[in-house]
Amino acid sequence: MRHQFTIVKKIAASKANVIANYLDLEHIPVHSGLKACRVLTETERAACFELTSKVGPFNVRNVHYFEFRPPDQIFHAVKSPLGPMHVVSTVREFASGTPEAHCDVEVVTTIELPRVLGPVRKLVERLLRHLNDVVLQEDLTILERRQALFGDWVEDYLQDQECMLFKDLFRRHYARPGGRTGRPPAA
């Protein structure tokens, strides 16, 4: 039984910072319910990785498929314990290039639930919405602080030592003209 729902996240950060946050693996320890990420394979725009997620009292280890669809979309698929699930996140930026830059991220989640779970699909949705809210609250701390300190500056994500998925593809869409990679301008 297919169940689909949409969440719209309001984020006070530029599209470059929001996309970089999706692709940045180094901040996973910030999330209370995520740990032990290990990239199994990566191409220019797609990756497969293992990740442990805490769902209630359970730790669940899954293999995830993650794809960057430039310039503004992330596709994520996982075979969850409740059934196959895919999530499409699309980032829309407003007030681009100004200190008031902010984004709406439309997150469309589709899960194939076993028929036996049909009667509790709204409960499953509530659980997934809650988990999404927890991750968003943890991410907002990073995103809003980065935006306040650096504005749209994302070149630190592009340094060789930074562990970020699809770095070259991200660079083509979000690095500043001329590829500046020095320190950000003083705030």
Cis? peptide before 71, omega within 30° of 0: yes
Total structural domains within the chain: 1
Radius of gyration in angstroms for the set of CA atoms belonging to the chain, rounded to a whole number: 17
Quick: pLDDT tens for 11-41. 999 999 999 999 988 888 888 888 888 999 9
Residue 184: inside a domain = no
Residue 94: inside a domain = yes
Report in angstroms the alpha-carbon separations of 10 from 32, 104, 157: 21, 5, 22
Quick: pLDDT tens for 117-155. 889 999 999 989 998 999 999 999 888 888 888 777 787
Residue 84: inside a domain = yes
Quick: pLDDT tens for 45-54. 999 999 888 8
Quick: pLDDT tens for 159-174. 777 778 898 898 888 8
**Domain boundaries, position 146:** 2-168
Q: What is the CATH number of the domain that holds 130?
A: 3.30.530.20
Residue 177: inside a domain = no
Q: What is the DSSP string of 77-120?
A: EEEETTEEEEEEEEEEEESTTSTT-EEEEEEEEEEE--GGGGGG
Residue 22: inside a domain = yes
Residue 185: inside a domain = no
Residue 77: inside a domain = yes
Residue 151: inside a domain = yes
Q: Does the pLDDT at position 183 exceed 50?
A: no
Distance between start and end Cα atoms, the chain: 51
